[in-house]
Amino acid sequence: LLLQPDSRPISQEQLAAEVKSIYAGLTMVETKCIRVDIKRTAAVPDASLHSKLTNDHWQALIALHRTLFHEHHDFFLASQHPSASPALRRLASKYSMPARMWKHGIHSFLELLRHRTPESLGSMLAFIYLSYQMMMLLYETMPAFQDTSIECLDDLVRYRMAIEDEDLCDRETWAEVARFWHSKLPDKDKLPRVGRLYHHLAILARPNTLQQLYYSSQSLTYIDPVLNARESILTLFDRALS
Tell me the per-residue pLDDT of 180-221, one tens digit each, with 9 for 90 and over.
Answer: 887 776 555 545 566 666 666 676 666 667 777 777 777 777
Q: What is the pLDDT of residue 49?
A: 45
Architecture of domain 13-42+52-185: Alpha Horseshoe (1.25)
CA distance 229 to 195: 9
Q: How much is the pLDDT for 50?
A: 46
Residue 218 or 47, more confident = 218
- Listed by start position, the domains of the chain span 13-42+52-185, 186-242
> From the centroid of its chain, how far is CA 145?
13
- Distance between CA atoms of residues 68 and 87, nearest Å: 23
Nearest to 155 by CA among 219, 208, 107: 107
Query: Is it the case that residue 96 has pLDDT exceeding 80?
Result: yes
Mean pLDDT for 80-108 is 92
User: How does pLDDT run across 7-34, given as a tens digit for each residue?
Assistant: 567 788 889 999 999 999 999 999 999 9
In this structure, are residues 61 and 29 in contact, taking their beta carbons and an 8 Å threshold? Answer: no
**Does 163 score more than 50 pLDDT?**
yes
CA-to-CA separations, 40 to 113, 119, 137, 150, in angstroms, rounded: 10, 14, 28, 28
